[in-house]
Amino acid sequence: MIDNNSVAAKDFYKEVRIFADSIKPWETAIFYETKPDEAYDLSLVSQRVYGRRDEYLAVMAAAGLDMFDQALPQKRIILPTESQLYAIKRRTGFESIGAYRENFSPTWAD
């Protein structure tokens, strides 16, 4: 099924990618060293960073991957903190957590 806002995921990916590319080493963010066992499981990175597997799209964007099944190279990626991720989601209208979605849109959306 298509989301009510069909470009929300694209906008979210783009915002996270911009965040990851523009953050400076002294700024607030999560600097994460990927591990070999995460190469084909982006949700495992999400679990280790955020404590849930739902944020694999944020991991994909931060790593600069084009496809979900593309291998995640072993490197440092820059992810938004929980509060930064929350702000990006609200700004783009995207929600990845199933419990916060209903009728093809986020429950917090207007």
14-27 tens-digit pLDDT: 999 999 999 999 99
> Computed from CA positions of residues 27, 9, 45, 50, in that sequence, does the dihedral angle turn out positive or negative?
positive
pLDDT of residue 6: 73
pLDDT of residue 91: 94
Query: For the chain, which residues make up each domain, given as ranges?
Result: 28-96
* Model pTM above 0.85: yes
Half-sphere exposure of residue 72: CA atoms within 13 angstroms, side-chain side: 27
